[in-house]
Every structure is written in structure tokens, then in C-alpha cells.
Structure 1
Amino acid sequence: MPGRPSPSRRTLLRGAALTPVAALGPAACAPGGGPAPAAPTGPVELGAPDEVPEGGAALYRDHDVVVSRAADGSLKAYSTICTHAGCPIGKLEGTRLVCFCHGSEFDATTGEVLRSPATVPLPELPVREENGAIVVRPDA
């Protein structure tokens, strides 16, 4: 357009550099900007039963799963893919899960949201002790 200055090279390069990140949306939260993580889809052996203390929880980052043990010894497991933007939840403080991407927090014993921006609880996964190991069986 006449009378209107053309954008500088720096402005064009800055815009181009930012565009791919914005286009990725939730996947940009994934480690390395790659595909978003996903909870297990088949049976996964997580570890020894004594890794999950009574009244406590254990975070299995490699499988995006948290397992808690109630006072009666029963186990519960939840996906640790944040329901807000699909980021892997990487921190467990007692029984509170913390998502680094946007600060959402969840109860590791119920999957319930403790702090927004997430509004949807974590999905529960079938879990049991089998042959001396904790096993998540999403296909069960």
C-alpha cells in the first residue's frame, strides 16, 4: 500500500519464529515440543507394591501414571496427563500433583482438580497387584 511502510526484516522474522509455536497449541507443552504425551493404552508394569505407601502415592513419570494406596490397602491409578492442556504432570508433593505448564493441581488419591486452570479431573485407570508388581491395565 502506498504511504504505508513495509515491515522490517526483524518484524517478519520474529513473526515467523513465533508462528509454529502458536500453531502447535497443547502439543507445544510436550517435552521437546513433540507430540503430546498419552496415558498407557495396554498393560504396564509400574513397580513393586511397596513403592506406594499406605495413605500416599507414587508418580511413574515414564508411564504418565500416579498410583495411590488407601488406608485399607486398595490401589487407585490416574493418568498424569493434565486435562487442561495435555502436558505431562511431573511433580508429586505428598498426594498433590502439580502441572508445571500452567499450574493446575490435582489430588493423586481421587484425580480431582485442586487448582485451576484445569476443570476436569484426571481419568482413572484400572490398577492391581499382579505377581509382585503394580500393573495398570487400561484395556481391562
Structure 2
Amino acid sequence: MSNNRPSSHLLSRRSVLASGATAAAVPMVAGCGEDEPVTAPEPPKADTELLKTSDVPVGGCAVVSALKLVVTQPSEGQFKAFSSLCTHQGCEVSSSSDGEIPCTCHGSRFSLTDGSVIKGPAEVPLEEVAVEVKDGVVTTTNA
């Protein structure tokens, strides 16, 4: 059988499949490095009990996943709370006792004291939620 088309117009099955795979991969690669805006969830209403003070290590933090919060104790008796969603791509940060709030998804680290970025790729601090201690329990406030 002869083909009347010039050879420059013929595509092999392999080249068609290869070009399709390349085109399909481009959006996945392009989306990998982009930061989507991460919006912190609405903080819980005032007087919501988060956890016992004894559950938060001094110089560390404990995540309250159900409320999307992380509670820190930067120094003995000082408690802070922040959104537990990393501002880089929205992964939940992890509990720790090493002096920082870690996000294990991409390596960001945040301050226990003010939620500021210590190490990127995150560029925006964690949003703070006002808390107080009542009878050994960290509780949200209206402040």
C-alpha cells in the first residue's frame, strides 16, 4: 500500500502518545509551586474550651484539629493560639516541643509567640486567636 502524503505529515503512534503525555503533565507541574491564598477558618465562639494546659509542652505546641487551631506555650504559663492551617498551601501544622510550630508538608516553621514565619516557603504569619486560661483549661475569649 502506498501513501500519497508527504512523510513530514505522518505522525507515529508513539509521537502522538508522547505529545499527549507531555501536554497532560504541564498543568500538574505548573500548579505544584503556586501558592493559593489560605483563609483561616472562623475562630470558635468565646469560652470554647480548647485543651488542658498540661497538654501543651513548655516551648512547644499542641494542635486541636477539630477546631483548626494550634495552642502554644512559649514560656511557662504563657499560652497563645493560632490557626493551624499553614499559610503556604493550607496543610495543618503539627504539634511539637522543639520551640517552633512546624508544617511538615513543605517545611515552613512559625513562631510560638506571635505566629510569624521563621522559615519558608510560607510568607504570611498564622492568624492569632485570643485565649485565656480558666481552671487549667485554655479557652477562647472575645478579645
| Range class of TM-score, shorter chain | 0.5 to 0.7
User: 1:103/1:89 Cα in 2 relative to 1: closer, same or farther (>3 Å)?
Assistant: same
* Structure 2: distance between partners of 1:90 and 1:48: 18
Aligned to 2:93: 89
Check 1:91–1:18 CA distance in 2 against 1; reply closer, same or farther (3 A cut).
farther
Task: Report the aligned-residue RMSD.
Answer: 3.5
Larger Rg: 2
Question: What is the alpha-carbon distance in structure 2 between the residues aligned to residue 87 and residue 8 of structure 1?
Answer: 38
Match of 2:101, SS state, is strand
2:113 aligns with 109
> Is there any run of 5+ residues in structure 2 with no aligned partner, and where?
1-7
Alignment TM-score, normalising by the size of structure 2: 0.63
- Farther-moved stretch of structure 1 (81-90 vs 70-79): 70-79
State whether structure 2 residue 12 is matched by structure 1 residue 8.
no
**Alignment partners' CA distance in 2, 1:70 and 1:97:** 10
Q: Deviations over 1:3-51 (max 9, x none)?
A: 484852354256447747839x657xxxxxxxx7854532343222221
The answer for unaligned runs of 5 or more in structure 1 is 28-35
Q: Percent of aligned positions with the same letter in both sequences?
A: 32
Alignment of 1:78 with 2:82, yes or no, is: yes
Q: 1-side partners of 2:23 and 2:95: how far apart?
A: 34
Q: Secondary structure at the match of 2:72?
A: strand
| CA–CA separation in structure 2 for the residues paired with 1:70 and 1:55 | 5
Contact 1:129 1:135 in 2 (8 A): yes
What secondary structure is seen at the aligned counterpart in 2 of 1:8?
helix
In the TM superposition, 1:1-140 aligns within 5 A as 3=9, 5=11, 8-9=16-17, 11-13=19-21, 15-16=23-24, 19=27, 22=31, 38-43=40-45, 44-71=48-75, 73-130=77-134, 133-137=137-141
Query: Bigger CA drift: 105-114 or 36-45?
Result: 36-45
How many residues align structurally?
129
> Matched residues in 1 for 2:111 and 2:41: separation?
17
Matched-pair contact (CA < 8 Å) for 2:60–2:101: no
Q: Deviations over 1:42-87 (max 9, x none)?
A: 2343222221244443232343322123546232111121122222
Residues 107, 97 of structure 1: alpha-carbon distance in 2 compared, 3 angstrom cutoff? same
The TM-score with structure 1 as length reference comes to 0.64
Q: 1:53 to 1:20 in 2, by over 3 A?
A: closer
